[in-house]
Structures are given as C-alpha cells and as structure tokens.
C-alpha cells in the first residue's frame, strides 16, 4: 500500500521529471551482474520497469489504485512489445540513470521511449509498447482521466 509519509521523507526514491522525461537514478549492485562483473541483460529490464512505474507514480497513476477498480474496473499494464539496443556495458557500482518518456497514449496502448545512461553515455535504448488490460487479461481502453494524467496534463 502507498505510505505517503514515507514518500515525503524520501522524495528522491521516485526520481525527477525534466520536461516530459522522467529520470530515475539506479546504482548497480553485485546481484545485477553476471560472473564477469557486467550488468546481466535482464537487470536492465528491471531498471526500466522501475522507471516506467516511477514516471506513472509522479503523474498520479498508482498500480494499487488501478487494481482497486477505482476507474470502473480492475486494470493493469502489460508490456506487449519491446525493442532493445544494448550499446555499452555497465559494471558493478556504476550509477546509472533511467530516462523514460511516454511518447503517446492511444486506445489501449502506451508507447514509451527509454534510455539507460551512465553520465553522457547511452548504454541501452528501448522502445516499449504497454497495453492496459482487465483483471481477466483482456485489452481495455484507458479512461480519459488516466490518459490525461499519463500525458502530464
């Protein structure tokens, strides 16, 4: 459940928004790496999921509220498609930034651009298509108020 007092004490956990882009800092831990000390490719998926979640949180869209049915029925987001370019490796103790931008929300789909950066270096580029689904997994058109929130309106 959402603890607003905790969030108020740790506002940096959610990252920041610059323009239309959300930026989430992430440190690379041992658990994120493979036997060679390089970030394992699946760890980037977790970093990017956190970026998408925190962007929505900063725009007032909370997963627990979607699940509660407060928008007419229980809703969730599912990744439908993802294109990823792994450009450069990250290593243990690196401080990265996950840049997330919702480029378009249309019907049941949300189109998202993401980059994982180390300083000025782009390590990963991804294009993500997420869809809104009902509790039984069927696509659902997003309510207009949610679309406005996701677009930062």
Contacts of residues 87-91 at CB distance under 8 Å and 24 or more positions apart, as own/partner, are 87/122, 87/123, 87/124, 87/125, 88/118, 88/121, 88/122, 88/123, 89/38, 89/39, 89/123, 90/28, 90/38, 90/39, 90/116, 90/118, 90/123, 91/28, 91/33, 91/37, 91/38, 91/39
Q: Which of 34, 85, 93, 145 is catalytic?
A: 34
Based on the residue annotation, tell me whether 3 is a catalytic residue of this protein: no
Write out the catalytic residue numbers: 34
């Amino acid at each position: 459940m959402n603890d607003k007092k905790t969030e108020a004490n740790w506002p940096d956990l959610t990252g920041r928004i610059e323009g239309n882009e959300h930026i989430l800092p992430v440190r690379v831990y041992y658990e994120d790496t493979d036997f060679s000390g390089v970030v394992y490719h699946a760890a980037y998926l977790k970093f990017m999921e956190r970026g998408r979640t925190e962007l929505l949180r900063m725009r007032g869209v909370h997963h627990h509220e979607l699940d509660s049915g407060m928008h007419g029925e229980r809703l969730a987001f599912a990744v439908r498609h993802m294109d990823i370019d792994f450009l450069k490796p990250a290593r243990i103790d690196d401080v990265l930034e996950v840049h997330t931008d919702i480029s378009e929300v249309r019907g049941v789909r949300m189109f998202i651009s993401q980059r994982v950066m180390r300083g000025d270096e782009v390590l990963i580029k991804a294009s993500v298509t997420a869809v809104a689904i009902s509790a039984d997994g069927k696509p659902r058109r997003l309510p207009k108020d949610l679309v406005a929130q996701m677009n930062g309106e």
